[in-house]
Chain A
Amino acid sequence: MSVLEVRNLEKRFEHTRVLNDISFTLEQGQALSIIGSSGSGKTTLLRCLNFLERPNGGSISVNGETLFDANDPATQDERRIRAKRLHFGLVFQSFNLFPQYTALENVTLARELLSKANGSESKAEIRDAGRELLAQMGLADRASHYPHQLSGGQQQRVAIARALALHPDILCFDEPTSALDPELTGEVLRVIRNLAEQKTTMIIVTHEMAFARDVADRVIFMDGGFIVEQGDPKEVIDNPKEERTRKFLANYARN
């Protein structure tokens, strides 16, 4: 059974159709890359999966449970969305760390709030887990720094630790390195590569073609809100079948 199954997802903003008939599956421990030109709907897709946008059609299932189905109002209850969100984690392009909290507090806050509700873990346990995650990101010595005292690459790694702290089934990245100076992208990509080696189930929207090709198990190429081509990353990126994929990649190589 697939971890994630997306069926015929549709999203419209007023009269523009931003996602059309998006269907794909993701297996446990796989990394999926989504590539495509600006405006092709990549961010909107991730936002739909994280319930930041409500799709107009289609369904989303995780581990066989239907989290959203446009035809089934019972799956759209606002009060249950919060729990459903926890199946997914999202790392934003612009980090969105909480400025008034230290790196460690950013990582632990949500888990502390959750365990306050169901009393499962002690504060100390949560803090230890948070420290461990920061260490895994290579930030052990930055735990008590505030976001404005960190570089962009460090901030993004804190954001990744923050998302991992809730143990999402699927971790989503929206162009995690495109807000970074070129010399800082490496450290963030390295962390994501490590996660892939540890078989973290991930969806990575990226413009780093070489990274997508090497790290992902599968790749999806989107254009105009459609999935144009999907498959093995080396196949798709080295030998694209579709004309539009070829054009996009050729454009890419030129820049």
Chain B
Amino acid sequence: MLLTVTVTLLEGFGTTLKLFLLTLVFALPLGLVISFGSMSRFTPLRCLTQTFVWIIRGSPLLLQILIIFYGPGLLFHLPLLPRFTAALLSFVINYACYFSEIYRGGIQSVPRGQYEAGQVLGMTPSQIFFRITLLQVIKRIIPPMGNELITLVKDTALVRVIGVYEIIWTGESFTKKGLIWPLFYTGLFYLIFNGGLTILFRKIEEKLDYFK
């Protein structure tokens, strides 16, 4: 029985993991683009980006998943997106907005004197970015990023509302057979995975501890 449960849960966890990793692959760079938009000196672009970020961060992810899945069909009579694609799309948009705010905080926390010191030493804007500010930004965003990734892992459970069967759904399916322990077992998957993430981020923080 333990083996059957393990295999079933692993299948569900595969979906969870796939959603987690693909969200990162797309949302990490997209978030950077959005953060540039929200810091733009071109006011219309900045306002538009900030409004978009406010809408996405201010409304429930659950609602966004439902709208992206059902919206195109009901509004424009388009075919439905595949369930996993719809789930991934909503996660990418949602998390890119959260990441963009983290990036923005990190970028804006680098003192202006750092850019100016680079400028008067004749560095190009890209040299200033890659050689001076980037590492300082990374150091500052690592702790909030760690938090955000743990939230992301747990948020993946939401996709069951459009019928993407992730680990909690598979765990719950055993309650029909009168079993509660698979749910605890499910929790263990999350704990171990998030424990790993926590250790990883602590390691990165320690690596960057050599400067202040």
Q: How many A-B residue pairs have CB under 8 A?
A: 61
B132 contacts across to A, CB distance below 8 A: 98
Contact B120 A88 (CB under 8 A): yes
Knowing A83-B122, A166-B122, the reply to whether A99 touches B212 (Cβ < 8 A) is yes
Complex CA distance for A32 and B134, rounded to whole angstroms = 37
A214 to chain B, nearest CB (A): 27
A109 contacts across to B, CB distance below 8 A: 121, 131
Knowing A110-B123, A113-B123, the reply to whether A96 touches B113 (Cβ < 8 A) is yes
Q: Is the C-beta of B85 less than 8 angstroms from some C-beta in chain A?
A: no
Contact A146 B117 (CB under 8 A): no
Q: Is the C-beta of B7 less than 8 angstroms from some C-beta in chain A?
A: no
Partner of A52, one of B111, B116, B122, B139: B116
Q: Which residue of A lies closest to B120 (CB)?
A: A90
Contact B117 A92 (CB under 8 A): yes
Q: Is the C-beta of B119 less than 8 angstroms from some C-beta in chain A?
A: yes
Contact A96 B111 (CB under 8 A): yes
B111 contacts across to A, CB distance below 8 A: 96
A50 contacts across to B, CB distance below 8 A: 119-120
Q: Is the C-beta of B210 less than 8 angstroms from some C-beta in chain A?
A: yes
Contact A52 B119 (CB under 8 A): yes
Q: Is the C-beta of A28 less than 8 angstroms from some C-beta in chain B?
A: no
B135 to chain A, nearest CB (A): 5
B118 contacts across to A, CB distance below 8 A: 110
Complex CA distance for A114 and B132, rounded to whole angstroms = 15
Interface size on B, residues (CB 8 A): 21
Contact A166 B113 (CB under 8 A): no
Contact A114 B122 (CB under 8 A): yes
B43 to chain A, nearest CB (A): 17
Contact A99 B119 (CB under 8 A): no
Q: Is the C-beta of A199 less than 8 angstroms from some C-beta in chain B?
A: no
B210 contacts across to A, CB distance below 8 A: 100, 146
Complex CA distance for A213 and B116, rounded to whole angstroms = 30
Complex CA distance for A89 and B212, rounded to whole angstroms = 25
Q: Is the C-beta of A85 less than 8 angstroms from some C-beta in chain B?
A: yes
Q: Is the C-beta of B51 less than 8 angstroms from some C-beta in chain A?
A: no
Task: Fill in one digit per residue for A69-98: 1 if any B CB lies within 8 Å of its CB, else 0.
Answer: 000000000000011011011101010111
Contact B122 A85 (CB under 8 A): yes
Contact A82 B135 (CB under 8 A): no
Complex CA distance for A109 and B116, rounded to whole angstroms = 15
Q: Is the C-beta of B42 less than 8 angstroms from some C-beta in chain A?
A: no
Q: Is the C-beta of B127 less than 8 angstroms from some C-beta in chain A?
A: yes
Task: Fill in one digit per residue for A137-176: 1 if any B CB lies within 8 Å of its CB, else 0.
Answer: 0000000001110000000000000110010000000000
Task: Fill in one digit per residue for B106-146: 1 if any A CB lies within 8 Å of its CB, else 0.
Answer: 00000101101111111110010001100110010000000
Q: Which residue of A lies closest to B116 (CB)?
A: A52
Task: Fill in one digit per residue for A41-85: 1 if any B CB lies within 8 Å of its CB, else 0.
Answer: 000000000111000000000000000000000000000001101
**A contact residues vs B (CB 8 Å cutoff):** 50-52, 82-83, 85-86, 88-90, 92, 94, 96-100, 109-110, 113-114, 146-148, 162-163, 166
List the 10 shortest-distance A-B pairs measured between CB atoms, nearest first: A110-B121, A96-B113, A148-B212, A96-B117, A90-B120, A100-B211, A99-B211, A86-B122, A100-B135, A50-B120
Can you list 24 A-B pairs, Cβ within 8 angstroms, ordered by A? A52-B120, A82-B124, A83-B122, A85-B122, A90-B120, A92-B117, A97-B117, A98-B132, A99-B211, A100-B135, A100-B139, A109-B131, A110-B118, A110-B121, A110-B122, A110-B123, A113-B123, A114-B122, A146-B211, A148-B212, A162-B121, A163-B120, A163-B121, A166-B121
Given A96-B113, A163-B121, A166-B122; 19 other pairs, CB 8 A cutoff: A52-B116, A82-B123, A89-B120, A90-B120, A92-B117, A94-B113, A96-B111, A96-B117, A99-B211, A99-B212, A100-B136, A109-B121, A109-B131, A110-B118, A146-B211, A147-B211, A148-B211, A148-B212, A166-B121
